[in-house]
Structure 1
C-alpha cells in the first residue's frame, strides 16, 4: 500500500501545484461553459433539460430524475471522455478523466438548475452549480470549517454576485476533484491485476459520485423566484 500511495502522490502532485485560486477559477469557468453551452456532439445543459422535460410530459420531478439517471450512465461508461467530440484536445490543465467527469457533473447540475427555473447566465447560479460538485458531505464539512460561508441555494439567490467567493469555491472544488481522482487511482491500482475488476471499480466510483452530486443538487436547488443582479 505504501507503493500505491507514492504512485498516487507522484501522479497528482504536479496537477495540484498548478492550481492557485485564479487558475482553478479559469479551469472551472471553461468546464462550466462547455457544460452549459455544449461542445460539438456534446449538447448543453438547457437542451438536455428541455428534452427530458418534453419526454416527461412537463413533469419537472420526473425530468430531473431522468437527467440524473442519464448522467450516472454517462459517467460510468469507460472511455466516455473520448466520445465527447474532441473534449480531450481542449487546453484544460486537468487529467482527461477528471475533466470529462467534471463536465458531465456540471451539465447535470446545470440542467437541474434550469429545470428549477434558475437562469444559467446568472453568475450567482453558475457559482452555485460549481458548489454542488462538492456534494453534501463536502459542503457540510467546509461550512463547519468556515472555508465555505454559504449553501448552493444561498449563493444562487444572493443579492449580489461575489467574485471573491466564486474564486474561493473554485479552489475548493478543484481540490475536491483532485482528491477524488486520487482515491479512484488508488482503487484502480489495487485492482488492476484482476481481470475486468479495474474497469468495474472505475465505472462504479464515477457513477456513484455522480449520483451523490445529482441528489445533492436536486435537494439544494429548490425552485425560487429569480431576482435581478444588483449593480
Structure 2
C-alpha cells in the first residue's frame, strides 16, 4: 500500500472527519495488536517467534519475514482482478496492509521489551506508521516526550494526549491514502502487472515501516 509516492496528478482528498479517523485507528489497535478470531494478536506472534528463535534479533527477523510474505500475497491477490475488482478489492487491501504492518511493529516492540497492553506503547506503534510525521503529531498533542517515540512509549500519559496522538495518526494515514489513489490504481489497469507491482510496493513499504520502527523503538 504505497502512501509516500507522489504523482503529478492527485485526486482531491475526501473529507476526513474525526469519526473516520477514530474508526480506522480502532481497527488497527483492536485487530492489528489485539487480534481477532484466527488472526493472532501481536503478543502471540512475538511469543511464537521467541520460542522458535531464542535470539532476539533472529526472532525479530522471523516476524518481519512472516509479515513481508503476508503483505506480498495480499497485494498480489488484490491486484489480479485489475479494474474490474478494484472498487471492492482496494479498500480490503488497504485495511489488510495496515493491520499487518501494525501487528508486525507491535510484535517487534514486544520482542524489544515493550508491553503492548499499555496504551502509550500502542500509540507509539501507531506513530511508527507515519514516519517522520510522528514528531509533528507528538508536538501538536502536547506530549511531554517531545518528538521522541521511545520516550513517549515509556511515559505515563493522560488519556487526552493519547487520544490526540491516535487521532493525528489516523488523520495523516487517511489523508495519504486519499491522495495516493490515482498512482495505486493506475498500476492495476493491466491485471497481472498490477498484481506484481502491488505485491512489490506493499513489500517495500512494510520493510520501510519496520525499519523506522526498529530505529524509534530500541530495546528497553
TM-score by length of 1: 0.73
Contact 1:78 1:199 in 2 (8 A): no
Tell me which of the two structures has the higher relative contact order, counting C-alpha pairs closer than 8 angstroms and 6 or more residues apart: 2
Distance (whole Å) between structure 2 residues aligned to residue 60 and residue 182 of structure 1: 40
1:155 Cα offset (Å): 2.0
Contact 2:76 2:195 in 1 (8 A): no
1:46 Cα offset (Å): 0.9
Q: Deviations over 1:95-128 (max 9, x none)?
A: 2111111100010011011111111121111111
1:159-198 matches, cutoff 5 A: 159-161=156-158, 162=161, 163-186=163-186, 188-189=187-188, 192-193=189-190, 196-198=192-194
Distance (whole Å) between structure 2 residues aligned to residue 23 and residue 220 of structure 1: 27
C-alpha RMSD of matched pairs (Å): 2.7
Contact 1:134 1:176 in 2 (8 A): no
* 2:127 corresponding residue in structure 1: 131
Aligned length: 194
Q: Which moved more, 1:60-69 or 1:154-163?
A: 154-163
SS for the counterpart of 1:134 is helix
Q: 1:113 aligns with which of 102, 109, 113?
A: 109
Distance (whole Å) between structure 2 residues aligned to residue 159 and residue 68 of structure 1: 29
1:91-102 matches, cutoff 5 A: 95-102=91-98
1:15-94 matches, cutoff 5 A: 16-17=14-15, 19-56=16-53, 58-78=54-74
1:165 Cα offset (Å): 2.8
